[in-house]
Structure 1
Amino acid sequence: MKVVVDLAKCTGHGICESIADDVFEVQDDGTLVIHDSERPESDRDRMRQAVTQCPAAALSLTE
């Protein structure tokens, strides 16, 4: 599973970072960096939570 960000939609709220600060990092300029976008199956629930709670609908999961 891979978590993907649409940078055109991302507004840098940081909710994803509060859910998984080891995966998501909002930079000082508001851009989002994803560390190790390929995630293990054990992270599925946490990544789904980040995707569904993103207010800009900028995150998605792919298989």
Structure 2
Amino acid sequence: MFDSLSGPTRFLVTRLALVAVGAAVGLGLYALGTGVALAMLLAFATLVIGEAYLFAVGDGV
């Protein structure tokens, strides 16, 4: 199904999935009792790593 999407739609869905994963990581770490700053830092790092991966495989702009 993902392959049937147009280029801009695939781009949007991929970025929204990255944001959802970053938010889930941040909320999960916060729920485990880590500090807010650490949870935000690791959630942001998840987004950066995801964007770097997409750029490396050719889906990044």
Using the size of structure 2 for normalisation, the TM-score is 0.29
- Structure with the larger strand share: 1
Instruction: State TM-score, norm by structure 1.
Output: 0.29
Bigger Rg, structure 1 or 2: 2
Higher helix fraction: Structure 1 or Structure 2?
2
